[in-house]
Structure 1
Amino acid sequence: MANSLKSAQFLMESRLSSTGWESAEACFDLGVAYSCGTGGKPVDLIEAHKWFNLAALRGSEEGQAMRAEIAEEMTAREIAEAQRQARAWIASTQLRAA
């Protein structure tokens, strides 16, 4: 069990430290991690929705499907917050790239 937790933590850290949302796969993996509570992280549907949204924006059909699935468990306010965070993430990555 300890090895799987270390592996999950490594995945999280590598995905977060990468260029962020350039890879649909990386975004999708982060969405899964936050929706399931992988790597010792608590389940965070707002954060998961944000990452699935970013994956969907990069063309991931799985990201679209998972975003819709977890949205069914969220309030309108939570979805709006997740969308706000996704827009903020995009803006911050564009500023870093400039």
Structure 2
Amino acid sequence: MAYDMSDTSQVKRTTEAGTMDPNANLFALGLSYATGVGADLDYVEAHKWFNIAAMRGDDEAKLRRQELTAMMTQSQISAAQRAAREWLQRTAN
């Protein structure tokens, strides 16, 4: 199932308990870069943020990342994965 990357309604997601989804900011960054709304259109950055959110259990981010992967070159995917690893290493310290 393809997702409409122009649909930014997912940015302010909440959990079932009504609290802010802790991965929503990561997802929102990915969505901004994927759509060019609020940030320059950049699939590598979008993939990076969706990847980080997905690694933290965000199922919607997994789906969006998968859709982006189909639109990207292998070189872009590798760059996004490298950027995600670097970000995770920097923030782990």
Provide the C-alpha distance between the structure 1 equivalents of 2:37 and 2:45, rounded to a whole number of angstroms.
13
Gaps of 5+ in 1: 1-10, 12-22
RMSD: 1.3
Alignment match of 2:72 (pick from 71, 74, 77): 74
Alignment match of 1:59 (pick from 42, 47, 57): 57
Moved over 6 A (4+): none
TM-score normalised by length of structure 2: 0.75
SS of 1:38's equivalent in the other structure is coil
SS of 2:71's equivalent in the other structure is coil
Letter in 2 for 1:69: E
TM-score normalised by length of structure 1: 0.71
Letter in 2 for 1:60: D
Letter in 1 for 2:77: I
Gaps of 5+ in 2: 1-10, 12-21
Percent identity between matched residues is: 42
